[in-house]
Amino acid sequence: MQTVTRDMLVSRAKALLADGTVDRVLGWKAGEFTYDVTPGVFTDADAMEKEFVYGDFCGANFSKYLLTEARKTEKKVLVFLKPCDTYSFNQLLTEHRFDREKVYAIGIPCDGMLDIHKIRTLSAEGVTGIDTDGESVTVHTLYDGDKTVARADALAERCVNCKSKKHVAYDELLGEDGEIIDSARFDEVAAIEKMTPDERFAFWQDALSRCIRCNACRDVCPACTCEKCVFDNPNSGVENKSPANSFEEQMFHIIRAFHVAGRCTDCGECSRVCPQHIPLHLLNRKFIKDIDEFYGEYQAGEKVGSRAPLVDFMTGDLEPSEAVKRGETNA
């Protein structure tokens, strides 16, 4: 259940459209089902009224859309940002990826979003609709009738391990701001670190071999905003469109994780959109955990203009051999 209602967002957006502050709104658009909400651009009050939705499946992080939308607008583009989205927002500003002047950001609080995959696993396939009521979720299914699951159990992984309910950027805040949370988001990484190398290899082989190279993770990632991705660039030496064998996936995902290391805000979009349910956030979080442990805590996007750990150094940094040992004996 969200404390800020759809109506509040719609009326704010309409007001800003009406007074000419903004000429477009980045928001969530209804899909065929309750749960397949898609990002949309609204340019008038009518469209807002008809198509704008806000609910438990509005997880999409709009920061990346600002790159294109901010360029199109003559005035400003209105964007709704959940706390986790604001980190991506700042990180993109750090990298000069859009013009802050062209954006009107409204921070909205978030109680966590639901994961349809989890709901299906908990209830049944053929989900036709979902109603949330307080702490329970009623799932309407095609073949098995209505089922009820606890909202807490249906929360997306990234929301279970939410790192912050605090907005680090906005022009206007709806509702109350929250706090940075001391989350348990590194527990899973630590569990993998504790495995033997063989177990780790098996775990990742299993996960990454599912990859179909649909590039959804890359396309949704707010840190992946290159004009041309190295995987699409014949001159990069790693260009590859489709997987030829298991290593291609490893290569793709290692390079991708490395490219966003120190820039990834851990927004969790990659895992959210992965159709194969590969826990991609565990690669990014490994880098974040290592960075925190080796070089001191760093949260990408917390401050605009902060110096990422990979473009910084201390003369007494630990040696790679030491780093590998520590990564393993963290157990």
Partner 1 sequence: MQVTEYKPKIVAFCCNWCSYAGADLAGNNRLNYPDNIKIIRVPCSCRVNPMFILRAFQRGADGVILCGCHPGDCHYTSGNYYTRRRMALLFSMLSYLGIEKERTRVEWVSAAEGAKFAATMNEFSAQVAALGENKRLEDLRCKP
Partner 2 sequence: MQRIGVFVCWCGTNIAGTVDVKRVADALRNEPGVVFSAEYQYMCSQAGQDMIKNAIREHNLTGFVVCSCSPRMHEATFRKTAEAAGLNPYMVEIANIREQCSWVHKDMEIGTEKAIVLGRTAIAKVNLNAPLTPGESPVTKRALVIGGGIAGIQTALDIADAGFPVDIVETKPTIGGKMAQIDKTFPTLDCAACILTPKMVDAAQNDKIRILSYSEVTDVRGFVGNFSVTIKRKARYVNEEICTGCGLCTEKCPQKKVPNEFNLGMDTRRAIYIPFAQAIPKVATIDADYCTMLKTGKCGVCAKVCTAGAIDYTQKDLIMEEKYGAIVAATGFNPISMEPFDEFAYSQSKDVITSLELERLMNAAGPTSGQFVRPSDGKHPHKIVFVQCVGSRCAGASKGKEYCSKICCMYTAKHAMLIRDKYPDTEVYVFYIDVRTPGKNFDEFYRRAVEEYGVHYIKGMVGKVTPTGDTLRVQASDLLANKQILIDADLVVLAAAIEPDKSARPLATMLTASMDTNDFFTEAHPKLRPVESPTAGVFLSGACQGPKDIPETVSQASAAAAKVIGLLVKDKLVCNACVASSDEAMCNGCSTCERVCPYGAITYADKEFRMPDRTTRIRRVAQVNQAVCQGCGACTVACPSGAMDLRGFSNKQIMAEVDAVCK
Interface with partner 1 (CB under 8 A): 189, 192-193, 197-205, 230, 236-238, 244-245, 247-248, 250-251, 254-255, 257-258, 261, 283, 286-287, 290-291, 294-295, 309-315, 317-328
CB of 155 to partner 2, least distance (A): 31
Category of 24 on φ-ψ map: left (φ > 0), alpha (ψ -120 to 50) or beta: beta
Q: Which does 124 bind (CB under 5 to 8 A by kind): partner 2, partner 1, none?
A: none
Which of 143/313 has CB closer to partner 2? Answer: 313
Query: Positive or negative CA dihedral for 270, 272, 274, 279?
Result: positive
Partner interacting with residue 33 (select from partner 2, partner 1, none; CB below 5-8 Å by kind): none
C-alpha distances (whole Å) from 258 to each of 201, 224, 252, 283, 306 are: 18, 11, 10, 9, 18
Smallest separation, CB 87 to partner 2 (Å) = 16
Element (H, E) at 283: helix 281-295
Q: For residue 251, what are the CA distances in angstroms to 203, 245, 255, 273? A: 16, 10, 6, 20
Q: Report in angstroms how near the CB of residue 275 gets to partner 2 at its nearest.
A: 25
- How many of the other CB atoms lie within 10 Å of CB of 207? 19
The site for partner 2 (CB under 8 A) is made up of 71, 94-97, 223, 225-230, 233, 235-237, 259-260, 263, 307-308, 310-312
198 binds, options partner 1, partner 2, none, Cβ within 5 to 8 A by partner type: partner 1
Q: Are 209 and 142 in contact (CB under 8 A)?
A: no
Question: Within its chain, how far is the Cα of 243 from the centroid?
Answer: 24
Comparing CB distances to partner 2, the nearer of 122 and 310 is 310
* CA pair distance 288, 283, nearest whole angstrom: 9
Cβ 271 to partner 2, closest distance in Å? 20
Give the residue with the Cβ less far from partner 1, 155 or 274. Answer: 274
